Amino acid sequence: MVSKKEKPAEQPQATPAPQQEQPSLNLQDLILVAQIIQVSSQRGAFKADELANVGTLYNKLIAFLQSTGALAPAPANTEENKNA
């Protein structure tokens, strides 16, 4: 008599937990931050003692965006530009 081999019980497949998206920033987000700083400053949203920190951050942000090519460098103020 031939014995039947029993198949091992199949393990239920565990469904992978949905992975949460990692927070990310892109250059467009940073440009938006720069625009928010500009508008907030124009509307007087910052106290005088906060302006140095806000200005320093804004300058660093603009320099970074220009170095990546996301923003064009500001034109230099030359005599030719003033007379145009």
Q: For residue 68, tell me if it sits in a domain.
A: yes
Q: For residue 17, tell me if it sits in a domain.
A: no
Q: For residue 47, tell me if it sits in a domain.
A: yes
Cα distance between residue 39 and residue 37, in whole Å: 6
Q: For residue 67, tell me if it sits in a domain.
A: yes
The whole-model pTM stands at 0.62
Q: For residue 18, tell me if it sits in a domain.
A: no
Domains contained in the chain, number:
1
Task: Look up the domain containing 43 and give its range.
Answer: 27-72
Burial class (CB in 10 A: 0-12, 13-18, 19+), 31: middle
User: What are the angstrom distances between the C-alpha of 11 and each of 7, 14, 18?
Assistant: 12, 9, 21
Q: What share of the chain is helix, strand, coil (3-state, %, to 5)?
A: 50, 0, 50
Instruction: Report pLDDT for 51.
Output: 93
Q: For residue 40, tell me if it sits in a domain.
A: yes
Cα distance between residue 34 and residue 20, in whole Å: 28
Instruction: Report pLDDT for 80.
Output: 56
Instruction: Report pLDDT for 29.
Output: 95
pLDDT tens by residue, the chain, 84 residues: 555 666 666 666 767 777 888 889 999 999 999 999 999 999 999 999 999 999 999 999 999 999 999 999 888 765 555 555
